[in-house]
Structure 1
Amino acid sequence: MNTEEVYRALEISFPMFLNTTKGLLPTEGPDSKLDWTELDPSNCTNYTAAWDWLSSYQPVYMVLLSVVGMVANGLVLCVFCLQRKPCTVADVYLGNLAAADLVMVSCLPFWATTIANGYHWEFGEPICKLVNVAISMNYYCSVFFLVLVSVDRYLALVRPMCQSRLRRAAWAKRICLGIWIVGFLLSLPILVFRSVKYVATAGVMACILAYPHPEWEIRRNITNNVVGFLLPAIVVAYCSRHIVITLKDGQIRKSPGVRSERKATQLVLTVLAVFLICWTPYQVVRFLDTLDYFQVTPGCLWGHILDISVQLSTYLAYAHSTINPFLYVIVGRHFRKKAKEVFGTMLKRRQVYYSMPSLTPRQMDMFCAGSVGPL
């Protein structure tokens, strides 16, 4: 059985690990306009080479993203958690975004191993559920954290006189907790319907998502498109538009307060732009997948194109979790300053520890603090 046949037998796709278009094909009936001869493999173009190529690169790509993403996002969290200055609202949101990205990339090795083993799942059902719930949950959380970051920049630049609770770090932490809960609730269907089962046609024990009815996936696709992308994109676009207009205003731009906020806003706008670039193709493919259920564009060729497009667009989407930390370093001047001070302090402590091991931890903190100014 080649890679394409295994994929279709398992009806697996990424990153939400929903079923593929095959499971969504309508049942045959007198009113059906679908030409079922198009679904006969003998009448369909053979895409085995494309599937084999994808299968050979999937594990390597996922492991690479995972290793780089875990190291990069781990360092970002260290900077936000160890900085001496109290976290700003933007720091809270970006820190939670880094945490969501870290969890996301930490789950990829499980699927890299599974794909390398011909989709045989060897980690047990609890891990099957946990990994896939974590991936879905952290996708939604990442989107909502980006919305919060966008709203925070909007309030800071466009509505600077509005001292909303949203611009207080304590409230930002509570909001983030609520976001994590919402992300989990949106992922409950995966927790319920994801399980490890033997798939006879593929000959493997697979971690599959088996909805009780194809319409469940349509609802899932619509929820993903609307709640996980369309509505957040509208909010982000609205905030970003007004932010850009404000930054172009000559008089407002000269304000000292706006100058400091402008640097942070450049980073935020870059992160938002990269998110849209990485995730828009996946959302478009999922929307087309939903249309396919209603026989808008039926046929075997369309099914092949959708299945392969889901894979390719997903790989681009996964890269977003690894790219973010590098954006902080390249675009974020304040973040670079914080990183230098945090890791400089850690290096200083290490040098002091080896040169004066008799110092108490309190004495060491006082000694190192003298070399670190305010952030």
Structure 2
Amino acid sequence: MATLPTSDSANFSTVSTFGDQNNSTDKCPPAVFKEWQSTVVPACMLLISVLGIVMNLFVLTVFCFHKKACTVAEIYLSNLAAADLFLMVCLPLWAANAINRYDWPFSHHLCSLFPLSINMNAYCSIYFLVLISIDRYIALVHPLSHKRISRPKFAKLGCLLVWGFGLLMSIPTLVYRKVAYKSRYNKSICFLDYSVKEELLFDGMQNTFGFIIPICMISYCTLVIIHSLNKRLIERSKSKKTEQKATTLVLVVLLVFVICWVPHHVVLILKTLIKANVLRECSFIANMEICSTVFMNLAFFNSVLNPILYVIVGKNFRKKVRGLFKQWSNNRTLIIRNTSTHLSLFRSVKPTVTTEDNTI
């Protein structure tokens, strides 16, 4: 493992979701290492990790242990929480790497695991939102068709396909990610060992399938949903109110996702252009590295915000929470009553003494 240079003359972003963190052009001198990159960044990561683990476990507990079966939208939201939880569990690895000034302190296998969790979260999160958007689109625009196809088994199959697709698109992370000593930085770096052509190919695929296509699908469905809601404001039937509540939660989750993830994806696209030598300004490249760090943590924070949104906006989710606590309270009361009854019966039974025993 490399020792830290006294001049701190190294420039690293925390990690890019889909790319190599040290793929800046060699023609530009490395920027001066900033102290906040090994103090503020890991502190933010650890805080996000702890909050994300607690909140997403809470969401999964509510969805999984409530006595009522999950609706289709709730199946998608629970899988979204599972994807966020997977990322949050792995996040402390990169926080430790940041504390160590990005001199990778772990094994090669862990070098692959953390970027895999980011890739899986990025792909699965956005495609779960695609499924949620399509579900809301059909529920509002084609309600008759929605009744025929909105079955939990179809939702579970869709989630399984999303997990498989996320794993498939993350294979390059497992194959090409490795740990190696970089004399330019005097550190052992966890990076993607791509050739230039492979890197541009994979970056293009990831920008296209991980952002451009799904965000277009989400945008189309969202615009149609908003238009449909505006047309139906006059109608106030109970079923339509229920659909509107579910749709409001989905729209808020989508909006927050866009705010948190779009800046990160834009930076990734710009970094792809840098790797293709379309953008060559050294100051611009240095700024992209800083933006990559900031926007990556903003993307991580989305995993903390989602559970908060379910509680603040999701009235049905709050009902499930109250129902679950009531269910647990009733079970506890029943256990206490049964225990008390058992003890009362035990105390009421007195030992009898026979006549023969008395004579003896």
Alpha-carbon distance between aligned partners in 2 of 1:261 and 1:116, rounded to the nearest angstrom:
47
Gaps of 5+ in 1: 27-35, 361-375
Secondary structure of the 2:144 match is coil
Alpha-carbon distance between aligned partners in 1 of 2:143 and 2:7, rounded to the nearest angstrom:
56
C-alpha displacement of 1:233: 1.2
Which AA in structure 2 matches 1:336? Answer: R
Deviations 1:186-217 (A, max 9, x none): 00000001122333444444322211x12322
Secondary structure of the 2:227 match is helix
* Aligned alpha-carbon RMSD (Å): 2.4
Q: Report runs of 4+ in structure 1 exceeding 6 Å deviation.
A: none
Q: Is the contact made by 2:14 and 2:94 (CA closer than 8 Å) also made in structure 1?
A: no
Alpha-carbon distance between aligned partners in 1 of 2:7 and 2:93, rounded to the nearest angstrom:
18
Q: In the alignment, which residue of structure 1 is the partner of 2:204? A: 222
Which AA in structure 2 matches 1:14? Answer: V
Aligned length: 338
Alpha-carbon distance between aligned partners in 1 of 2:260 and 2:7, rounded to the nearest angstrom:
26
The residue correspondences of 1:65-104 to structure 2 (distance < 5 A) are 65-104=48-87
Q: 1:314 aligns with which of 279, 296, 321?
A: 296
Cα distance 1:234–1:17, how it changes in 2: closer, same or farther (>3 A)? Answer: closer
Q: Is the contact made by 1:149 and 1:268 (CA closer than 8 Å) also made in structure 2?
A: yes
Gaps of 5+ in 2: 343-360
Cα distance 1:198–1:154, how it changes in 2: closer, same or farther (>3 A)? Answer: same
C-alpha displacement of 1:93: 0.5
C-alpha displacement of 1:165: 6.1
Cα distance 1:105–1:14, how it changes in 2: closer, same or farther (>3 A)? Answer: same
Calculate percent identity across the aligned residue pairs: 39
Q: In the alignment, which residue of structure 1 is the partner of 2:170? A: 187
Normalising by structure 2, report the TM-score: 0.86
Cα distance 1:159–1:4, how it changes in 2: closer, same or farther (>3 A)? Answer: farther
C-alpha displacement of 1:74: 0.3
Alpha-carbon distance between aligned partners in 2 of 1:18 and 1:4, rounded to the nearest angstrom:
23
Which is worse superposed, 248-257 or 181-190?
248-257
Q: In the alignment, which residue of structure 2 is the partner of 1:365? A: none
Which AA in structure 2 matches 1:241? Answer: L
Which protein shows a greater Rg? 2
The residue correspondences of 1:128-277 to structure 2 (distance < 5 A) are 128-163=111-146, 166-211=149-194, 213-250=195-232, 253-277=235-259
Q: In the alignment, which residue of structure 2 is the partner of 1:287? A: 269
The question of 1:57 aligning with 2:58 is answered: no
Q: Is the contact made by 1:2 and 1:52 (CA closer than 8 Å) also made in structure 2?
A: no
Alpha-carbon distance between aligned partners in 1 of 2:7 and 2:131, rounded to the nearest angstrom:
41
Alpha-carbon distance between aligned partners in 1 of 2:178 and 2:275, rounded to the nearest angstrom:
24
Q: In the alignment, which residue of structure 2 is the partner of 1:25? A: 25
